[in-house]
Amino acid sequence: MPTKFVFVTGGVSSSLGKGLTAAALGRLLKCRGLRVTMCKLDPYINVDPGTMNPFEHGEVFVTDDGGETDLDLGHYERFIDESLHRDSNTTTGSIYSSVIAKERRGDYLGKTVQVIPHVTDEIKERIARLATDDVDVVIVEVGGTVGDIEIVPFIEAIRQFRRDAGRENVCYVHLTLVPYLAPSGEQKTKPTQHSVTELRSRGIQPDVIVCRSDQPISDSLKRKISLLCDVPTEAVVSAVDADDTIYEIPLVLHAEGMDGYVCRLLNLDESHAEIDLSAWEAFVERVVGATDEVRVGVIGKYVNLPDAYLSVVEALRHAGFFHGARVEIEWVQAEEVLGMLAEGRLRDLDAIVIPGGFGERGVEGKIAAATYAREHAIPCLGLCLGLQVMVIEFARNLAGMARAHSREFDPSTPEAVIDIMDDQADVVDLGGTMRLGAYVARLLPGSQVAEAYGEEVVSERHRHRFEVNLRFRRRLEEAGLVCSGTSPDGRLVEFIELPGHPFWVGTQAHPEFKSRPDRPHPLFRELVGAAVQRAEGRAPRLLDMAAGARDEDA
């Protein structure tokens, strides 16, 4: 069977949920026994989002092979439960970089390099590259909104793709907005009509129209859209806002018959007519039925844009699903932590997460949060920079290194417990490159981390430059810190923990990227488990691990 391609475009407005819709369709096709992969085409000129400010773009999602990609790839992985790769995200910047490099090498034999055919051919080549022998369906989301000047080459490329791959092997799904106007008391289809007209002016007739709205689309409106946009009525899908969780979306789309229609269109209905949604339905019922509630504070620098921590939030929710609890996120601006501690505003948290980040702003607040969690037995998970501030905190308060810091934030510190390390674990210049992608770690047998994973060799994704400085490791361990996971050669510290604490664990990695809704990441699972115990009052004690630690709750 030839590989099938589904292209998802959007109109009317950005942020309608193209990524979630594409990912949900991917889950439905997988439930039919199809092998699915996904791809995002992004119109921005950056080569990748790796250098973009989180306030501009949200989080950078890292793949196993070290690709710095769009956050929608996180949705894809969580829904279809497949590990994607750097080729799963293509940007205008990367396309033009490749085309220009080919021109400089003389690959075009002196021809004038143009958008058509050279740029569009490059886009098509990137898409076709995903059609391996292990894939039945490739779902491609086109970023941006139809009508944007930036996406014209992508729209032209996917138009040509149907001719190249065969009409029976390509399906176009178009996502639009059907707004409700309160003064008139009715939903309006005119934006959808204009959006489809714009898409058709570029040579693409959509096969499926997904209508986003805050209330169901009536049958009469579906017939109207069908008539005016030249699609069958059954191909007009009402995608209403999910009430409780985004993981309801596959069930919403299936109830509308979207996956069945796409399969019939691509001649997949005979071999993959049966669908088994029982496991997913049971999972969603468990999510909706969660009754307990835990409050988790996320100590971040970019809390005004929650998308900057999207995978962290989803990983916490996954862990909550496992424990039958709803996780309420308390966004804590790192720069305000010291003031909040003085006011006692963190004492009611059931757990704390200290996520990654770059730059000095808010670091002292994160360090203070790590101290508070350690002294007050609050479960705490440090991610990437989070591990580093936990090491700094421990070194300052328990290992007698009052000036302990990271070379990233204090280049002159004599106690750089965090520094740039080369492969010999020696300090090098700031020209070192980041560790990106999956790295293996060996866990200390019997450690809290090893017990959580249930194994002693694990692989996690990284995105950082600075490491725990091995010159200070012995002093840290003598003071009670456990380096519970290292690189296979023992030269890089990957995990730390504190014996006797309910959960005070740091990892140099970003485990949030590998969490799945029905299979939470072990570290998040254990963190939320400890939070549930705290919420139930089973872990109220304080840890007096530092001389002079005071009980503020006494």
Q: Which long-range contacts (CB under 8 A, 24 or more apart) does 198-203 make?
A: 198/11, 198/146, 198/147, 199/9, 199/11, 199/146, 199/155, 199/174, 202/146, 202/152, 202/155, 202/156, 202/159, 203/156, 203/159
Among the listed residues 513, 475, 26, the one whose alpha carbon sits nearest the alpha carbon of residue 250 = 26
Q: How far is CA 488 from CA 1, 383, 439, 456, in A?
A: 43, 20, 9, 11
List 497, 512, 521, 526, catalytic entry: 512
DSSP state of 359: S
Residue 186's contacts (CB-CB under 8 Å, 6 or more residues apart) are 180
Beta-carbon count within 10 A of 134 CB: 8
Indicate the residue type of 538.
Answer: R
Q: Is 512 a catalytic residue?
A: yes
List 57, 75, 318, 510, catalytic entry: 510
Among the listed residues 488, 523, 529, the one whose alpha carbon sits nearest the alpha carbon of residue 506 = 523
Alpha-carbon distance 207 to 192, whole Å?
A: 14
Among the listed residues 3, 22, 13, the one whose alpha carbon sits nearest the alpha carbon of residue 172 = 22
- Residue 519 structure tokens: 């299979």
Q: Is 510 a catalytic residue?
A: yes
DSSP codes joined into one string, 99-110 = HHHHHHHTTTTT
Helix intervals (H) in 425-501? 448-453, 473-478
Beta-carbon count within 10 A of 482 CB: 17
Alpha-carbon distance 97 to 111, whole Å?
A: 17
List 39, 211, 384, 483, catalytic entry: 384
Among the listed residues 372, 377, 371, the one whose alpha carbon sits nearest the alpha carbon of residue 393 = 371
Alpha-carbon distance 519 to 158, whole Å?
A: 35
Instruction: Give me the residue label for tokens 């940007």.
Output: 91
Which residues is 441 bridged to in the sheet? 458
**Could you give the angle at the alpha carbon of 50 between the alpha carbons of 415 and 309, nearest 5°?**
80
- Residue 332 structure tokens: 């804590």
Q: Is 211 a catalytic residue?
A: no
Alpha-carbon distance 253 to 243, whole Å?
A: 14
Residues classed as catalytic:
384, 510, 512
